[in-house]
Amino acid sequence: MSAWMAAALGLCAGLVPCALVALRARDPFDRLVALEMAAVLVSLALVALAEAMQRPLFLDLALTQALLSFGGGLVFARTMERWL
Amino acid sequence: MIAAALLAIAVAAALIGALGVWLMRDAYQKLHYITLPCSVSSGLMVLAVLLHEPRKAAAGKVAIAALVLFAMNAVVTQATARAIWVRSEGRWPPRHPPPPAPPEARG
């Protein structure tokens, strides 16, 4: 196993506490913060996977994930501020 | 070897951030821990890719993704904290400064 694959697995392990908070927290804003953290971890894991598999195409996925999670986080925050 | 060490530090920082999101008490405290993977981990991963990757275009993509994460963190964190405040206090900007934290919250 390469260092990049180990890094990807380690970053995916970080999704477990985020999932626990997102599934079990009572405050919806706790869940939103966990979702934002998970989006960041997934972006970094996609970078590590792209390097581990020598697939530069996956770097586009990481960049897209980072950009979409930015918009998604803003939309969730504004929606929960006003309407939920 | 250097790239592996940078990756190990990056993953450790990201895991500390994830544990912080899990263990901290409220959403304001949890928000602070997103900074770790967005700044430390993404920066170290850019350095590791620069050391490891012969194709500079690929390293450029990773640098752009890290820059997006870094900038995104500030904006999304502010928007989320503002949303929490508006939901609890009803308006923005706050009319009065928030009251001091209770002694047990100060540690």
Rg of chain A over Cα atoms, rounded to whole angstroms, equals 14
Instruction: Give me the pLDDT at residue B77, please.
Output: 93
Q: Where are the alpha helices (DSSP H) in A1-84?
A: 3-13, 15-24, 28-52, 57-82
Instruction: Give me the pLDDT at residue B54, please.
Output: 74
Nearest to A78 among B8, B62, B83 (CB): B83
> What's the mean per-residue pLDDT of chain A?
91
- The per-type count for chain B, helices as H runs and strands as E runs, is 5, 0
- CA–CA min distance B103, chain A (Å): 23
Nearest to B18 among A14, A77, A78 (CB): A14
- CA–CA min distance A76, chain B (Å): 8
- Measured between beta carbons, the chain A residues lying within 8 angstroms of B83 are 29, 77-78, 80-81
Q: How many CB atoms lie within 10 A of CB A34?
A: 26
Instruction: Give me the pLDDT at residue B79, please.
Output: 92
Q: Is A24 at the interface with chain B, CB within 8 A?
A: no
**What is the ipTM metric for this complex?**
0.89
B102 is a domain residue: no
Domain carrying residue B71:
2-89
Domain count, chain B: 1
B41 is a domain residue: yes
- Measured between beta carbons, the chain B residues lying within 8 angstroms of A59 are 58, 61-62, 65
- Domain locations in chain A as residue ranges: 3-82
Partner-chain contact B7 A4, CB within 8 Å:
yes
- pLDDT (tens digit, 9 = 90+) per residue, A9-49? 999 999 999 999 999 988 899 999 999 999 999 999 999 99
Token pair of B68 as six digits: 């997006």
Partner-chain contact B41 A44, CB within 8 Å:
yes
Q: Where are the alpha helices (DSSP H) in B1-107?
A: 2-23, 27-32, 35, 42-52, 56-89
Nearest to A7 among B11, B33, B68 (CB): B11
Closest by Cα among A36, A33, A78 to B92: A78
pLDDT for residue A5 is more than 80:
yes
> DSSP for B53-65?
-S-HHHHHHHHHH
Determine the Cα–Cα distance for residues B76 and A29; give it in Å rounded to an integer: 13
Instruction: Give me the pLDDT at residue A84, please.
Output: 65
Q: How many CB atoms lie within 10 A of CB A64?
A: 13
B75 is a domain residue: yes
pTM of the shown model: 0.88
B100 is a domain residue: no
Mean pLDDT by 10 residues, chain B (107 residues): 90 95 92 93 92 82 91 92 86 72 72
B107 is a domain residue: no
Q: Is A68 at the interface with chain B, CB within 8 A?
A: no
**Are the C-beta atoms of B71 and A66 separated by less than 8 Å?**
no
Q: Is A53 at the interface with chain B, CB within 8 A?
A: no
